[in-house]
Amino acid sequence: MQMILRFLLGGTLVSLFAELGDVLKPKGFAGLFASAPSVALATLGLTIFSEGTSYAAIRAKSMIAGALAFCFYATLCVYLMAIMHIRPAPAAI
């Protein structure tokens, strides 16, 4: 039952975020807004429902830490490619 609920909730959120991304410019944001936020929100909602708010709060903090780490990584990659003129593959590694 939980898998069906996760499928329905995740699909709905992916569709809503895809519509939001379709409205924004540039169109490259569509993929960004269609995947990670919607899946994270669906997972967090199901975690609250099944495990409780205190357990979900720990998972939410982990999601925030992961998002901050990804922002740091993306900023570093942009710096390496734009300022240091390093090719994309070595910069990403």
Residue 35: is its pLDDT beyond 90?
A: no
Specify the DSSP class assigned to residue 83.
Answer: T
Plot region of 52 (φ>0 → left; ψ -120 to 50 → alpha; else → beta): left
Give the residue-averaged pLDDT of 45-70: 90
How far CA 87 is from CA of 40, 69, 71, in Å, comes to 31, 22, 19
CA-derived radius of gyration, the chain = 17
For the entire predicted model, the pTM comes to 0.61
Residue 33: is its pLDDT beyond 60?
A: no
